[in-house]
Amino acid sequence: MITVASIQNGLVIDHIPAGKGLKIFYHLGLDSANLQTALIMNVPSNKMGSKDMIKIENSDDVNLDDLGILAPQATVSVIRRGKTVKKFSLTLPERVVNLLFCKNPRCVTTVEQQVDHVFVRLPGSSSYRCKYCDHLLAV
């Protein structure tokens, strides 16, 4: 098994379904963030069989809002001096940009190439509404 050193200060995103880690790594912008990061894939897991993990050293300043949709079962731990000081699970973001894509064939986003795909969550629900055509998408 590969050993990746524990981080001293930062974030650990754990319980990412195996295979989704790389997509999340890019979506969170970690490829260009100039942070010390580790993406570990196919780690054996009692609960999940295998899982992916992301460790980010010396920063909590990563926008994790979209993670609630990308990997709702993931957990996030805040590490200080090598110890977990806070652990939280994810909630669904209120608004997402270029993460969900409208399935309505009559929606303007199907023809207007450069336009951002924007969805807003219905209050108290896991459904999102397309900003342009109002079609709903359940996540």
Partner 1 sequence: MLKGRHLIEPHDFTPAEMEEIFRLAETMAASMGDFFSLCRGMIMATLFYEPSTRTRFSFEAAMYRLGGQVIGFAEPNSSSVAKGESIADTIRTVACYADIAVMRHPKEGSALVAAGYSPIPVINAGDGGHHHPTQTLTDLFTIRHYKQRFEGLTVGLCGDLKFGRTVHSLIQAMARYPGVRFVCVSPGELTVPDYIMAGLPAGCAVECVVDQPLEQHIGKMDILYMTRVQRERFFNEADYLRLKDCYILDRRVLSRAREDLIVMHPLPRVNEIAYGVDDDRRAVYFPQARLGMIARMALIAKLLGVS
Question: Does the footprint of partner 1 cover residue 112 (CB under 8 A)?
Answer: yes
Strands 36-45 and 49-57, sheet pairing = antiparallel
Residues 75 and 15 sit within 8 Å (Cβ to Cβ): yes
CA separation for the pair 139, 127 (Å, rounded): 6
- The site partner of 48 among Zn ion, partner 1, none (C-beta below 5 to 8 Å per kind) is none
132 counts as binding Zn ion under rule CB under 5 A: yes
Total residues contacting Zn ion by CB under 5 A comes to: 7
The answer to whether 100 contacts partner 1 (rule: CB under 8 A) is no
| Phi-psi category of residue 14: left, alpha or beta, with phi > 0 → left and psi -120 to 50 → alpha | beta
Among 2, 82, 114, 138, binds partner 1 (CB under 8 A): 114
Q: Which of residues 76-95 bind partner 1 (CB under 8 A)?
A: none
Q: Which of 100, 110, 129, 139 binds partner 1 (CB under 8 A)?
A: 110
Q: Does 56 bind Zn ion (CB under 5 A)?
A: no
Q: What's the one-letter identity of residue 19?
A: G
113 forms part of the interface with partner 1 (CB under 8 A): yes
| Chain centroid, CA 134 distance in Å | 24
Question: What are the φ and ψ backbone dihedral angles of 29, each rounded to 5 degrees?
Answer: 75, 20
DSSP letter (8 states) at residue 108: G
**Which positions lie near partner 1, rule CB under 8 A?**
104, 106-115, 130-135
Which residues of the chain form contacts with Zn ion (CB under 5 A)?
A: 102, 104, 107, 130, 132-133, 135
